[in-house]
Structure 1
Amino acid sequence: MQNKPVLITNMLVNMGIGLIMPITTLYIHGTLNKSLVTAGYVLFCFSGAMMIGNLIGGKLFDSWQQKPLMYLNGTGVVIALFLLGFFPQWPIYPVLITLYGLFLGGLNSSINGYIAFLQVKDPNIFNNGYWFASLGMGLATFLSGILFGISIRVVFFSSAILFLLTTLLIKLTFHTLQKQPVMAKKNDKQKKSNHAFMSILLICVVMIIIWICYEQWNSNVSVLMIAKHISVPKYSLLFTISTIEVVLVQPFMNRFFKPSFKSEKMRVVLGLLSFAFSYLAIINTGSYWRYVLGITLVTFGEMLALIAIPAILNRFADDQNRGTIQSLGSFAGSMGRALGPLFGGYFITTFNYNWTFFGMFIMHLLLILPIFTLKLGKAK
């Protein structure tokens, strides 16, 4: 397996995120005694700041120095998390979590841009990166419930240490990338740019919808399960189950789906179907096995769609804009994560969980036809 230090770095980042996100809604709603809508607004601010960080980070990755950019954002994340550990009270909590999101967005974009460069010579790096990231995320989400039971401060301090290790690993193992000049006629370049823009826009819309719905598993599903008398450790265990499934199944994915544009499109379509049925699985149930089935379908959706999307985006990029284009995918994901708790909290409060989940099932089905029409054109 190539580029192990980069893959481990990606794992540490996801561990840092995974310690915090599953218990955020529980902490705001249960400990700070704020409503689900308020929790949604806090997560909206976090993801909104992350969106800004995504765009700035991607642009600076292409136009500025890569490693100093990673140091800057890594340091910002560590400082924000240590401050959260010391001051986890309202109203400073939403301010610090938003600051954390800003620097996290910049760090994610720069790491994703770095991986996009490596993908040119290592076609499986997105698959391997997802495997490592899921391993870190699953372990962290399992531990988050345990650490949260001790203290929210322990959660933040632990995450800060993980991001500190991430920054040190970048310093020791990452190297400066050499960009290849792009030679193209002006008219050809304009046609390629217009086609790429529409294709990237479609992919970003798909990402937004996927993450609006996915975010319910990180926020409102936890509240639903507790209302159904299913414990927090059992909720955290869902993500451990997901990780085990990834560890066991993901290595075989490369055998069924080769690195090609047609194959990547098919992965997205199958992933959308898997995501869609995951929401049907948890409608009107208090049975734990139905939530296990739901998270299993979500996991297959991730392994199929969310790995293929960065690879598709990279097909519309060259060495002058890989960071920017990857940042647009990250931006779309962050937008979905920002809108997810907000929309979820609103629709669940206005209607109910069942109608909200059914609507998410329909939305995923509606995305399939546009993906089938996606063409590579003159992009490489």
Structure 2
Amino acid sequence: MKNKFVLLTNMLVNMGIGLIMPITTLYIHGTLNKSLVTAGYVLFCFSGAMMVGNLIGGKLFDSWKQLPLMYICGSGIVLALLLVGIFPQWPIYPVLITLYGLFLGGLNSSINGYIAFLQVFDPNIFNNGYWFASLGMGFATFLSGILFGINIRVVFFSSAILFLLTTLIIRLTFHPIKKQEKTESVTDIKPKTDHSFLNVILICLVMIIIWICYEQWNSNVSVLMVAKHISIPKYSMLFTISTIEVILIQPFMNRFFKPSFKSEKKRIILGLLAFACSYLFIVNAESYWRFVAGITMVTLGEMLALIAIPAVLNRYAEDHNRGTIQSLGSFAGSMGRALGPLLGGYFITGFGYNWTFLAMFIIHILLVIPVFSLKLNKQK
């Protein structure tokens, strides 16, 4: 397999994230005895810092040295996690978690920018990267609860080791990017000869909406299932099912979709339709199989749309701004994840679950129209 070490770093980063995030609210509320509102604010600060890191990392990737940027971000993550493992107390905990989010955003953007350059020689790298990321996230999420049962420090130290390994692999196996020389002076990512920038913003808006809705599965759907007398273990099983589906189905995606702009746009449209169906399945849902069908459609939407979006963004980029444009996609995803639980809770409180999910179904259907209108600049 091409670029196996790059794919390995992608898996290790997602493992590091997967160890920490599932137990964050549980630790703040259950161990530190803070309210759920306080836990929400901590997660919001983490997401906000990650968004800032996305933008700074993408900009520095294009204007500075790529590999030293990854070393700094990786080392910053390791230091923050080691410190929070040594001092997992309030109020230093939220400060260090926010610092962790800042460096994590920078590392994600720089790795995504690096992958964007490699796509020229390995058209399926985004697809393969998603598979490895899902594998790492699924395994780490499974281990998270076990390690948390031993000691919270074990969780943070284990994550620190994973990010240390990531940084070492980058140091030993990544090579400097050779950029093509610019033929004209460019001071902004906004192209002067076409509407590429508007297309990039449109794709990012689609990404934000997808993640705002997706986050309901990570937050409010659990409350709905408990209200329907479906147990928490069955809710957790949904994500195990999702991970298994990704591992089994994802490798076959390359056979059905060739690496081309037309094919990638088709993937986003089909992914939006799959996401839409996932919310329709759980409108008035009373039985467990409806939620299983819903999470299966979510997984299909992920494998179609969320892999194609970075690839499409990369088609609007040139060597001088690949990192910046990928960072906009990461920023959009982080913003959607930050706003999702808040907006979902607001609409569910005001209109109820069924109307909220029905609205999400309609919104995803409507998003197909602007995505269908996306065009690639002829000179590209």
Normalised by the size of structure 2, how large is the TM-score?
Answer: 0.91
Q: 5 Å matches for 1:219-230?
A: 219-225=219-225, 230=230
Q: Which residue of 1 aligns with 2:277?
A: 277
1:148 paired residue number = 148
Q: CA deviation at 1:204?
A: 0.4
Residue 95 of structure 2 is aligned to residue 88 of structure 1 = no
| Aligned CA distance change for structure 1 residues 361 and 31 (closer, same or farther; 3 Å) | farther
What's the CA shift for 1:268?
0.4
Q: Separation in 2 of the partners of 1:248 and 1:305? A: 18
- Secondary structure at the aligned position of 1:364 is classed as helix
Deviation at 1:146, TM superposition (A): 2.8
Q: Deviations over 1:126-161 (max 9, x none)?
A: 111111111111111222233333343332222222
Residue of structure 2 equivalent to 1:316:
316
Report 1:294-313 matches (<5 A): 294-313=294-313
Matches within 5 A, 1:1-40: 1-40=1-40
Whichever residue aligns with residue 160 of structure 2, its letter is: A
Per the TM alignment, residue 207 of structure 1 is displaced from its structure 2 partner at its CA by: 0.6
Is contact 1:145–1:236 with CA below 8 Å preserved after alignment?
Answer: no
**Is the 1:141–1:240 Cα contact (8 Å) retained in structure 2?**
no
Distance in 2 (CA, whole Å) between partners of 1:230 and 1:24 is 23
3-state SS in 1 of match to 2:195: helix
Tell me, yes or no, if the aligned pair for 1:145 and 1:232 is still in contact at 8 Å.
Answer: no
What CA deviation, in whole Å up to 9, does each residue of 1:320-371 have, x standing for no partner? 1111111111111111111112222333444444433333222222211010
Per mean C-alpha deviation after superposition, the further-off stretch among 341-350 and 293-302 is: 341-350
1:211/1:311 CA distance change after superposition, 3 Å: same
Instruction: Name the CA distance, whole Å, in 2 between partners of 1:41 and 1:349.
Output: 19
SS in 2 for 1:178: coil
Structure 1 residues 296, 96: closer, same or farther in 2, change over 3 A?
Answer: same
Distance of 1:36 and 1:279 partners within structure 2 = 26
Give the direction of change, closer, same or farther, for the CA distance of 1:34–1:369 in structure 2 (3 Å limit). Answer: farther
Letter in 1 for 2:272: L
Task: Report the Cα distance in structure 2 between the residues aligned to 1:96 and 1:223, rounded to whole angstroms.
Answer: 29
Q: CA deviation at 1:163?
A: 1.0
SS at 1:246 equivalent? helix
Contact 1:24–1:219 at 8 Å: present in 2 too? no
Contact between 2:276 and 2:360, CA under 8 Å: does it hold in 1? yes
Give the whole-Å Cα distance in 1 for the aligned partners of 2:331 and 2:147.
30
Segment of structure 1 superposing worse, 89-98 or 262-271: 89-98
- d(CA) in 2 for partners of 1:88, 1:289: 40
CA contact (8 A) 2:190 2:196 kept: no
1:174 — aligned with what? 174
1:346 aligns with 2:374: no
Identity %: 80
Determine whether 1:329 maps to 2:333. no
Shift of 1:65: 1.1
Does the Cα contact within 8 Å between 2:194 and 2:377 map onto a contact in 1? no
**How many residues matched?**
378
| CA-CA distance at 1:213 after TM superposition | 1.5
Is contact 1:270-1:305 (8 Å) kept? yes
Query: 1:229, 1:91 → 2: CA distance?
Result: 37
Structure 1 partner of 2:118: 118
* Cα separation, partners in 2 of 1:285 and 1:88, compared to 1, 3 Å: farther
Give the distance between the partners of 2:91 and 2:23, measured in 1 at CA: 18
Aligned to 2:131: 131
Deviates more, 1:360-369 or 1:103-112: 360-369
Q: CA deviation at 1:233?
A: 4.6
| Inter-partner Cα distance in structure 2 for 1:379 and 1:54 | 29
Displacement of 1:273? 1.1
- C-alpha deviation, 1:237, in angstroms: 3.1
Could you tell me whether the CA contact under 8 Å between 1:21 and 1:218 is conserved in 2?
A: no
Indicate how the Cα distance of structure 1 residues 378 and 184 shifts in structure 2: closer, same or farther if over 3 A, else same: farther
Partner residue, 2:164: 164
For the structure 1 residues 155 and 278, does the alpha-carbon distance in structure 2 shift closer, same or farther, using more than 3 Å as the test? Answer: farther
The superposition leaves residues 8-40 of structure 1 with CA deviations (integer Å, 9 ceiling, x where unpaired) of 100001111112223333444454455554433
Mapped to 1, the partners of 2:333 and 2:68 lie a distance apart of: 25
How far does residue 70 in structure 1 lie from its aligned partner after superposition?
0.5
Offset, 1:76: 1.1
Unaligned runs of 5+ in 1: none
How far, CA to CA, are the matches of 2:229 and 2:33 in structure 1?
Answer: 19
TM-score between the two structures when normalised by the length of structure 1: 0.91
Corresponding position: 1:374 with 2:374: yes
Higher mean C-alpha deviation, range 39-48 or range 278-287: 278-287
Report the CA distance between 1:165 and its aligned residue.
Answer: 1.1
**Structure 1 residues 238 and 152, CA gap change in structure 2 (3 angstroms):** farther
The answer as to whether partners of 1:37 and 1:342 remain within 8 angstroms in 2 is no
Q: Structure 2 vs 1, CA of residues 73 and 129 (structure 1 numbering), >3 Å: closer, same or farther?
A: same
SS in 2 for 1:175: coil
Q: Could you report, residue by residue, the CA deviation over 1:200-219 in whole angstroms, capped at 9, with x for unpaired residues?
A: 00000001011111222333
SS at match of 1:367: helix
Structure 1 stretch 103-112 or stretch 88-97: which is displaced more?
88-97
